[in-house]
Structure 1
Amino acid sequence: MTSNQATTQITNVISGDYRIDVLLESANFRWNYPQPLKTPVTVTYSFMTAAPTYAEADDKKGFTPFNDAQKTATKDILAQISAQFDVTFKEVADSADSYGQIRFGNNDQGETSAGYASYPDPSGNPAGGDLYINNQDPANLEGITPGTNAYATLVHEIGHTLGLKHPGNYNAGEAASTDPGNFLAKDEDSEANTIMSYVKTPQQLERDFFGKYDILALDYLYGARSFKTGGDIYSFGNNAGGLLQIINDDGGIDTIDASTATVAATIDLRDSGSSSVGQLSDGAAAQNNLTIAFGDIIENAIGSALGDTITGNSSANSITGGAGNDTLDGGDGIDSAVFQGTKSAYTISPQGAGWTIADGTSGRDGTDALAKIERLKFSDFSVALDVGATSNAGIAAKILGAVFGKSEVANKQYAGIGLKYLDSGTSYADLMKLALDVKLGAGFSTSSEVTLLYTNLVSATPSAADIAYWEGTVTSNQFTQTTLAIMAADHALNTNNIQLAGLAATGLEYIPA
């Protein structure tokens, strides 16, 4: 179906975040009510053995219990929810007089729906939390695996039992409501954002879990557990194209890896970014089938052997395009593009605001177009591209030239040490002070500093008068020892000596420290 909601409408402000409020009828429809929001809660569940005595006639029509396949899928979904949110599920026996807060069963819904479920009822109505799957469609009862409509239906209906509503003004088998409510605009109302939506993605893919809006809403109601805090590798081959997936990850240095796919990947590492990985059963490339949860950071990406498009985020991203002609955009942060061969095998060329990196070895890394990439990592050493006067590699080169001499700009180990400090947040001034201490020894005199800087900049020993003059600028507090050295490093004599303008076109070679 499609939505006709032109703009998002929030009649009942609940959380203040429209992405949450379009999924909530009330903040009271939750199992931890009347305790405060986000209070951890244990929720019991059971599989109906017979239609509940309190059930309506439509609920009882054609009742059958869940089969083993349905039970297995249900337990899998509940386990995933419990791992990510502060809801602990406990299975209990089901009878006419004793049963779980959430109950699962099948009934005859004709052709009106695949399933339906009730919200938690704060008044204590036992029907609150009851879930029924339509047993008139055999596809709902067998082969219930991620990527199937049957599995997505279970996740959707379980969402209702936890308090989530549809984001749009619709309900299976019913006309649209004429009452005002919280409804999501049609350009966002999609299963790409929430499994509670009725609007399919263009490729008709099914979700294997909740979407990024759902995760916000469940966190709002129940609170989130710490989840996936290590260095996780999320691998996506061709089969990943058959379903809609989400990455919910709370920490560690993580990687999206599409290297086994035989179709090009589009990977977006940005917060809530949408990626395209894998292929459909007919071989077509999947589109926008992978998202990252709001607020989550995935640091690294590995592309396929074809022409991928990879976009980084504000972290220090490591991006491996792999074979094929890739388009890599690092975004903010100090980002690296990784290549398989030695640096001598590649041609590095400035291209507008970015770079083109061409591999001379056929079939290996191809020709990649880079934007906002600060580092190139080859198998023998690396190249820093941020050689502007105020950028980290430019600052490192200026310090090397002023303190250690222009020849040391080519010292890859020294350059690597300087970049390690700068990339980790050390200031220009602090690194300059450290360099002076290393070169001259702690507690060095201003005269020794002046002699060092003067010699490196003009290739001559300063006169006594020159030394006295520059010592005087420190004594008078015009400069400190550190700011005097920074002035020298920034001077055209130094930047010309180290050929900073030329480095901006070739990069600064270094060995990572």
Structure 2
Amino acid sequence: MKLRHDIDELGRVGDLLSIENPLQFNLDNYVGGTFRGKPIFDLDGVEDQIDSGRSQKVTANGKITYTFLDEGDGLIGIYNNKNYGFTAGEGLAAFSAAQEAEARDSITLWDDLVAPEFVETEGRGADIQFANSTDPAQAYAYYPSEKGGQKYLGDVFVADPAVNWTNAWLGYGGYGATTLVHELGHALGLSHPGNYNYDPDLPLSYANYAEYAQDSEQYTIMSYWSAQETGARIVNWDLLQFNNPQTPLLHDIYVIQEKYGADPTTRTGDTTYGFNSTADREVYDFDANPFPYLSIYDAGGEDTLDFSGFFGGTVLNLNDGEFSSGGSAIPSAAEINANALELYYETGEVDYIGGVDQATIDSISSRYISNNARDISIDTGYTGVNAVNYENISIAYGTMIENAVGSEYRDIIIANELDNTLTGNGGADVFVFQDGGTDTITDFLAGEDLIDLSALAGEDTAIDFGAGFLEADFDGDGAVDLTLVFDNGAELTAADVYMG
């Protein structure tokens, strides 16, 4: 396995569009413009690109079934006969136990999003069937059909790990794990966002084949193009490689829920995502998944996004359809080399060429963190946020998360329209408010932390301070539009508030 210590810095490319005081570089906020010469679509346009128009035939009791084809009878007949139009018949083999476990985890990620329930069955005949094959270079799936048809429609075939080691690379950020989530998207009726498929004879690239600006793995796991193409910068520092998506992403969630309806039962209690996680999926536990690359869907309750264990500072944005930035401390050379060697033994990859030294890691990480800090300062106007990843976590459209917990470093915490409870922890934190209501900050430190009201304040704005509170009337009508409560009794001065 090759350690990639020659990561290129693509940065943010293209023309930034004119918008007053953007808080983040999120292409969804620039609909109607262009980026790198490509049109920026609204969500209806995105849906038209990603929805193939084909869906699984959901049973009357709301079920979609899946199974793992076994050696022997499960892999004969139509599943090994090209006369029926089936093309994956070369080298058919059953999934390993590890592949089955990863596929089940991938299914639960989609199951959490949609109203139908996924049910595992035995033998052939399920809506989605999994097997290895030596035919695909990486993997492929057949689109489903609500009208019946050949039995392989909706099935998923993965290049046998014996011929493509990356399909044995499972777990968070593993390319084999990402492949399974992607192919399940096809099995549910999602397409690539543009008119492309794998072809070694074509010059496949974002520049050549992306039909609209948001066609990247920043927005959809169905894309072929790196998140870097649209400005994100997401590294799996455990291996010193670009990371791979770990869940369906922002646009995948929107489109799949438009197709099948949203699951109203997913984590309806009070749920914490991140550190101190109470979510029922380990991918949302940042102690277990220190370099997350994911999108969060939640159906209800009073929820919290907890970045308390992240390193170097964060952007924590509670607004749905927006991105946050952060990650854990970068491992040492010894740890990265040990992780690479472990992956080498687990996957059987034969291209391992040795380790990387600490000086190289320090050089790469310094460059990346510096560029992340630069882009965060461009987005927000605030310097000193040294996040290790940039725009790697998103909140699904329609998902409401009430509370935020920052890191021990400088954070920019962006409140939403709900009544939020915000904890900055250490560092000179910035709390940004764009809506009225009543919000609570648990640990505001006057003279160090900052309240940013620039999105709301105008020439008629009046602010009243007192011990443990701030009240703001933004339009001068005499009514309080925003109340901030400081649990620690902080008493602010004008210097603690930025009005623009």
Q: Distance in 1 between matches of 2:43 and 2:389?
A: 34
Aligned equivalents of 1:193, 1:153: Cα separation in 2: 16
Worse-superposed segment, 142-151 or 299-308: 142-151
2:50 counterpart of 1:23: yes
Q: How does 1:189-228 map to 2 (within 5 A)?
A: 189-202=215-228, 203=234, 204-226=242-264, 227-228=266-267
Q: Deviations over 1:101-152 (max 9, x none)?
A: 211011114xx63210001133411120121111145544535213211111
- The aligned counterpart of 1:7 is 38
**CA-atom RMSD, angstroms?**
3.9
2:327 equivalent to 1:327 = no
- C-alpha deviations, 1:425-458, integer Å up to 9, x for none? xxxxxxxxxxxxxxxxxxxxxxxxxxxxxxxxxx
The runs of 4+ residues in structure 1 deviating greater than 6 Å are: 174-177
**CA offset at residue 211 of structure 1?**
1.0
Which of 406, 409, 416 pairs up with 1:313? Answer: 416
Aligned partner of 1:46 in structure 2 is: 67
Contact 2:93 2:133 in 1 (8 A): yes
The answer on 1:390 being equivalent to 2:477 is: yes
In 2, are the aligned partners of 1:270 and 1:313 still within 8 Å (CA)?
yes
Which runs of 5 or more structure 1 residues have no equivalent in the other structure? 178-182, 347-356, 359-366, 397-414, 417-502, 508-513
- Deviation digits for residues 341-378 of structure 1 (CA, Å, limit 9, x no counterpart): 8xxxx6xxxxxxxxxx31xxxxxxxx12221299x9x9
- Going from structure 1 to structure 2, the CA distance change for 1:8 and 1:105 (only over 3 Å counts) comes to farther
Report the structure number with the largest CA radius of gyration. 1
Do 2:167 and 2:175's aligned partners in 1 also have CA atoms closer than 8 Å? no
Cα distance, 1:191 vs. partner?
1.1
The counterpart of 1:83, out of the listed 100, 112, 115, is 112
Structure 2 length normalisation: TM-score?
0.63
Q: CA deviation at 1:16?
A: 8.3
Is 1:254 aligned to residue 335 of structure 2?
no
Change (3 A) 1:79 1:54: same
Query: Secondary structure, in 3 states, of the residue corresponding to 1:22?
Result: helix
Q: What SS does the aligned partner of 1:242 have?
A: coil
Task: Indicate how the Cα distance of structure 1 residues 395 and 134 shifts in structure 2: closer, same or farther if over 3 A, else same.
Answer: closer
Going from structure 1 to structure 2, the CA distance change for 1:162 and 1:48 (only over 3 Å counts) comes to same
Q: Distance in 1 between matches of 2:169 and 2:224?
A: 22
State the partner residue of 2:158: 133
How far residue 340 of structure 1 moved from its aligned partner, in angstroms, is 3.4
Q: 1:30 to 1:40 in 2, by over 3 A?
A: farther
Partner of 1:116: 140
Q: How big is the shift at 1:185?
A: 4.2
CA contact (8 A) 2:416 2:435 kept: yes
Which amino acid is the alignment partner of residue 198 of structure 1?
A: Y
Secondary structure of 1:159's partner? Answer: helix
1:484-505 alpha-carbon deviations (Å, 9 max, x no partner): xxxxxxxxxxxxxxxxxxx995
Change (3 A) 1:248 1:184: farther
* Residue 148 (str. 1) matches residue 197 (str. 2): no
- Superposition map of 1:147-296 within 5 A: 147-173=173-199, 185-202=211-228, 203=234, 204-226=242-264, 227-236=266-275, 237=286, 240=289, 242-279=291-328, 285-296=388-399
Aligned to 1:144, what secondary structure does the other structure show? coil
Give the SS at the match of 1:295.
coil
8 Å contact from structure 1 (residues 303, 322) kept in 2 = yes
| Structure 2 contact 320–397 (Cα < 8 Å) conserved | yes
How far apart, CA to CA, are the structure 2 residues paired with 1:390 and 1:334?
16
Distance across 2 between alignment mates of 1:308 and 1:74: 36
Closer/same/farther in 2, CA of residues 295 and 176 from structure 1, 3 Å limit: farther
Change (3 A) 1:52 1:7: farther
How far apart, CA to CA, are the structure 2 residues paired with 1:16 and 1:325? 36
CA positional deviation for 1:6: 4.4
**Cα separation, partners in 2 of 1:148 and 1:395, compared to 1, 3 Å:** closer
Aligned residue for 2:316, secondary structure, equals strand
8 Å CA contact 1:326–1:368 kept in 2: the answer is yes
**For the structure 1 residues 261 and 242, does the alpha-carbon distance in structure 2 shift closer, same or farther, using more than 3 Å as the test?**
closer
For the structure 1 residues 105 and 506, does the alpha-carbon distance in structure 2 shift closer, same or farther, using more than 3 Å as the test?
closer
Q: Percent identity?
A: 26
CA 1:328–1:5 in 2, change beyond 3 Å: closer, same or farther? closer
Structure 1 residue corresponding to 2:449, chosen from 356, 360, 368: 368
Q: How many residues align?
A: 359
Residue 320 of structure 1, CA deviation:
1.9
Q: Distance in 2 between matches of 1:394 and 1:141?
A: 54
Asked if 2 retains the 8 angstrom alpha-carbon contact of 1:318 and 1:335, the reply is no
Which segment drifts farther, 56-65 or 126-135? 56-65
In 2 relative to 1, CA 40–264 (structure 1 residues): closer, same or farther, beyond 3 Å?
A: farther
C-alpha displacement at 1:198, in angstroms? 0.7
TM-score by length of 1: 0.61
Structure 1: distance between partners of 2:427 and 2:43: 45
The 3-state SS of whatever aligns with 1:386 is strand
Moved more, 184-193 or 247-256: 184-193
Q: C-alpha distance in 2, partners of 1:113/1:186?
A: 26
3-state SS in 1 of match to 2:258: helix
Deviation at 1:232, TM superposition (A): 1.6
Q: In structure 2, do the counterparts of structure 1 residues 287 and 173 end up closer, same or farther at CA, with 3 Å as the change threshold?
A: same
- If asked which structure has higher relative contact order (CA below 8 Å, sep 6+), I would say 2
Structure that is richer in helix per residue: 1
- In structure 1, give the amino acid aligned to 2:258: Y
Instruction: Give the Cα–Cα distance (whole angstroms) in 2 for the partners of residues 384 and 307 of structure 1.
Output: 22
Amino acid at match of 1:329: V
C-alpha contact (below 8 Å) 2:169/2:175 kept by paired residues: no
Query: What amino acid sits opposite 1:48 in the alignment?
Result: L
> Match of 1:218, as an amino acid?
I
Give the deviation of 1:40 after TM superposition.
6.2
Q: Distance in 2 between matches of 1:505 and 1:387?
A: 15
- Indicate if the aligned counterparts of 2:250 and 2:396 stay in contact, CA closer than 8 A: yes
* Correspondence for 1:100 among 118, 126, 136: 126
